[in-house]
Every structure is written in C-alpha cells, then in structure tokens.
Structure 1
Amino acid sequence: MKTNTIWKGGQAFESTQHNNSKIEMDGNHGFSPKALLLSGLAGCSGIDVVDILEKMRVPFADLQIEAEADQTEEFPRVFKDIHLNFSVVTGEENRDKVIKAIDLSLEKYCGVAAMLKKNSKIAYTLTIQTEAV
C-alpha cells in the first residue's frame, strides 16, 4: 500500500492512492487525520460485517456505524477508548448473527482494529432496528 500526500496550503493536504482516488484532509475545515483514522476503523469493520452477513445470508436493509474516541490529555494525544455503535436494520431474530459478524470483524479480520487495539480499547454496542428510519 502506498499513498502520496501533497500540502495544499494552511493545514490542508490532499492524499492520492494507487488507483487515483483522492481524499482531502484539513486541520481546520475538513476531516482531520484522526477523524479519518476513526472513519477508517468504521469502514474497515463495516466492509467485514457486510461480507459476513451476506455469507450468512442474513437479510439486512441498512448498516450505520457511529465511532467515537476519547483521547489522552498528554501529547501526543492518542485514542485511548474507542466506542462503535453498529445500527443494523434487520429482524430481531438475527441479533446473534450480527453480533457474531461484528465480533469476527473486530477480533479477526479488520486490520485497522488490530492496529488500533495495540494502544486503544475498542468496545461496541449494537442497535437492531426493524425498519429504516
């Protein structure tokens, strides 16, 4: 994996990866690098959960992941506690399968979680919604 990050002025940067996908970061007006890391965790786990639920043939209509992190007070300010809330639109009868998918993601498959767990506690909650909001 390789990226190229270019300073655009002020605290703004643009990062490009091998397939020419681009993302902007900005310490003042956009996603900060730490917010991108938190979003990366949610996206990494979300991809796993979707794949696992599809393999289990669990019907679901929506998946949303809210990620929140507490940071240390001292510098460098790093994540210490991370909490994910998975909200899935599916039947209540699928709760155990969704829990299994999340556990497999966070414990086995998600590389971002594996890296972050070396320094931060990652916990989650699950909300099952029976219809889309």
Structure 2
Amino acid sequence: MEFKMKDGGFVAELPYGKLDISGDENYGFRPYQLLVSSLAICSGGILRNILEKMRLDVQDIQITAETERNREKANRVEKVTLHFKITGKGLKKEKLERVMALTRKNCAMVQSVEGSIEVEETFEIVEV
C-alpha cells in the first residue's frame, strides 16, 4: 500500500477505491476506526465462512464494536468488544460457542493484536 499526504490526512488508492485516513473525521476515517473495523470484519468474515461450511441456517450477522481507550497512554486502544447478533433457524448456543472459538483462532487481525489489545467476543442468537 502507498499513502500520499493530502489536506488533513493521507489517501491510498486501492483496487476497490480511495481510502481517506485522518485523525480528523472531517477528512477521512480515523486510524482507530480502521483498526476496530479490521478486527470486526475479519472476525465476521471468518464466522460467516465457518457457519456456511457447517451448513447452518444463518440469514444475517450484525456486529457491534465497542472500544476502550487509555487517554493516559496516547489514547491507545486497550480493549475491543465485538458483539455478534446471529439470526437464523435452529442455532444452538453450545455449537456457536465452538464456532466463536474457531473464529478467534482463525482471524488474522485478532491474532495480530493478541497480547497488546484485549478482544472480547460475545454473541446472541435471534431465532427466525
């Protein structure tokens, strides 16, 4: 990736489109938003793949991410909580607990921050 300076931040031209990044939301995505998005969407993608391979009847996955930051240490991200709302038919809590463990183990972004950022995953099942 190549990042070029622009007014208020930086920009990268990527195959899918332009990515504007800045510490000021008026000029682009904030770096911490990209970090949290990487954790959430990597986990969500792995979760989706595992559920599809298991042929579980899932219609939707929604992810809510909450962040705890430490103002005393450069406002660093210390904890990210990812809550997965999984909508489907016949989903069992015990099976999804195993799926969540596999998801964590196979998500490159979560594994990359292990030991420096606490990542907590929770889920709820919405039966349709």
Is the shorter-chain TM-score for this pair beyond 0.5, marking a shared fold? yes
1:64 aligned partner, one-letter code: Q
Equivalence for 2:40: 42
| 1:4 alignment partner, SS class | coil
| Contact 1:42/1:84 (8 A) holds in 2 | yes
1:71 aligned partner, one-letter code: R
What is the aligned length? 126
Compute the displacement of 1:92 (Å).
Answer: 5.2
| 2:74 alignment partner, SS class | coil
Alignment of 1:1-133 (within 5 A): 3-10=1-8, 12-17=9-14, 19=15, 21-28=17-24, 29=26, 30-91=28-89, 93-106=91-104, 108-131=105-128
TM-score of the pair, normalised by structure 1:
0.83
Q: Runs of 5+ in structure 1 lacking a partner?
A: none
| 1:49 alignment partner, SS class | helix
| Contact 1:71/1:78 (8 A) holds in 2 | yes
Moved over 4 A (4+): none
Q: Runs of 5+ in structure 2 lacking a partner?
A: none
1:57 aligned partner, one-letter code: R
Compute the displacement of 1:94 (Å).
Answer: 3.1
TM-score of the pair, normalised by structure 2:
0.86
